[in-house]
Amino acid sequence: MNDERHSGWLPPAAPATEPPLPEMPQDPPRSRGGGGALGKLAAPLIALVALAGKLKGVILLLPKAKFLVTSGSMLVSVAAYASIWGWRFGAGFVVLLFVHEMGHVIQLRREGVKDASAPLFIPFLGALVWAKSLGDDAAAEARVGLAGPVLGSIGAALCLPLHAATGDDFWLALAFTGFFLNLFNLLPFGFLDGARAAAAMSPWMWLVGVFGMVVLVLTFPNPIIILIAVLGGLETWRRFKGVRSGDPDVLGYYKVRRRDRVLITAVYLGLIAALVLGMDATHLERSIPD
């Protein structure tokens, strides 16, 4: 960017024998005709121009603000996970979460949704991306939902060549965790990605998700699972009410072409099978000392 500056040129100084002329006081300008009205309008106009300049600066800073929110929440999450599992695993786990969420962001852009947020990380709850819409219909919502586990599974699989190159079991453990994370998200319940896919396959699959979440709560009763169960249960109930209401707009939203339904079902079931195999291949036996 060109940076044009004034050269600061000054006229030559007067000879020393000639004293400088004193500055004569000037009378303040007098208003003529409508000058008074213009003078009254000048101050608000100047204030508006100054405000517009500040707003322009804020708008220009918005992309940086998104970056700061994402990077700041990532660092907080890394610190939280590192306090339990060490910084290597904390950093690797957050990177896998980021890859997963970027799958949603990329697909939202492809569906024409321009207001998708940057990923926001919440320690021990994962991460999220929000937007005013997930697409025009349930098929678009399913594509957005499945894009996260698809890209996230690829990210987890990339840990395998790193293990082959280094022989470090850390990469196997990280891959296993990534596979498990994406498999859990395919449960057709609440806000999870599987519920997005189920919207296109059959909303009745949400009942399968409810059953699965009940089993998880009874098997692993911890605060995080219970929180997901409560919030997801409310979301599932809200969507079931919408489907049962008979609203033409709602029914139109869930009307999906047979071709799209078959393709989404194939991707959903194939992804589950691949993740189960991935977890089996990367599972590490832990020896418990006597």
How open is the CA angle 286-183-279, to the nearest 5 degrees?
A: 35
How many beta carbons lie within 10 A of that of residue 163, not counting itself? Answer: 17
Output the pLDDT for position 115: 79
CA-to-CA distance for 243 and 249, rounded, in angstroms?
10
Long-range CB contacts (within 8 A, 24+) of 93-99: 93/174, 93/177, 94/121, 95/155, 96/152, 96/155, 96/156, 96/174, 96/177, 96/178, 96/181, 97/121, 97/126, 97/127, 97/152, 97/181, 98/74, 98/127, 99/151, 99/152, 99/154, 99/155
**Locate tokens 């040129």: which residue?**
9
Q: Is the pLDDT of residue 163 over 80?
A: yes
Average pLDDT, integer, range 247-270:
92
CA-to-CA distance for 101 and 152, rounded, in angstroms?
8
pLDDT above 90 covers what percent of the chain? Answer: 49
CA-to-CA distance for 237 and 254, rounded, in angstroms?
16
**Locate tokens 């994962």: which residue?**
126
Mean pLDDT of the chain: 80
Confidence band (pLDDT; 50, 70, 90) for 170? Answer: very high
In a domain, 24, yes or no: no
Q: Is the pLDDT of residue 28 over 80?
A: no
In a domain, 209, yes or no: yes
Q: Which residues of 243-265 are buried (b: 16+ CB within 10 A; e: fewer)?
A: beeeeeeeeebbebeeebbeebb
Average pLDDT, integer, range 277-288:
82
Confidence band (pLDDT; 50, 70, 90) for 123? Answer: confident
Output the pLDDT for position 119: 83
> Which residue in 1, 211, 176, 29 sits closest to 93, CA to CA?
176
Output the pLDDT for position 287: 55
In a domain, 48, yes or no: no
In a domain, 288, yes or no: no
Domain of residue 112 covers 55-282
In a domain, 92, yes or no: yes
Average pLDDT, integer, range 191-210:
92
In a domain, 66, yes or no: yes
Under 8 Å between Cβ of 108 and 128: no
Output the pLDDT for position 203: 85
Q: Is the pLDDT of residue 95 over 80?
A: yes
Average pLDDT, integer, range 74-102:
92
CA-to-CA distance for 173 and 179, rounded, in angstroms?
10
CA-to-CA distance for 192 and 102, rounded, in angstroms?
15
More confident residue, 262 or 121: 262
Under 8 Å between Cβ of 120 and 70: yes
In a domain, 103, yes or no: yes
Express each pLDDT in 1-18 by its tens digit.
444 444 333 333 333 434
Q: Provide the number of structural domains found in the chain.
A: 1
In a domain, 247, yes or no: yes
Confidence band (pLDDT; 50, 70, 90) for 71? Answer: confident
